[in-house]
Amino acid sequence: MTCDIFMTAVDYLDVDSFVEEFLTIKWQKPEQAQLMIKSNVDTAFQLYSPISQKI
């Protein structure tokens, strides 16, 4: 199995707005789309998927 991964590091990100925007994207294969976010206060990544969360 292969996948594409895109990463960035940002400060002062409005995480809620970013996740909301991620969940509105019409993915060709939504079951394969995942977003992982870890802020400087988190000890682990938070995982978001368009198939497990609905707006």
Q: What sign does the CA torsion over 53, 36, 23, 25 have?
A: negative
Q: Which stretch of DSSP H or E encloses residue 18?
A: helix 15-24
**Alpha-carbon span 39 to 24, nearest angstrom:** 22
Structural domain count of the chain: 1
Other CB atoms within a 10 A radius of the CB of residue 37 amount to 15
Q: For position 10, what pLDDT does the model report?
A: 80
Q: For position 55, what pLDDT does the model report?
A: 44
- Give how far the C-alpha of residue 9 lies from the chain's centroid of Cα atoms, to the nearest Å: 13
53 band by pLDDT with thresholds 50, 70 and 90: low
Report pTM: 0.77
The pLDDT tens digits of the residues spanning 7-50 come to 777 878 899 999 999 999 999 988 888 999 888 888 888 899 99
**Alpha-carbon span 2 to 19, nearest angstrom:** 24
* Structural domain span for residue 17: 1-55
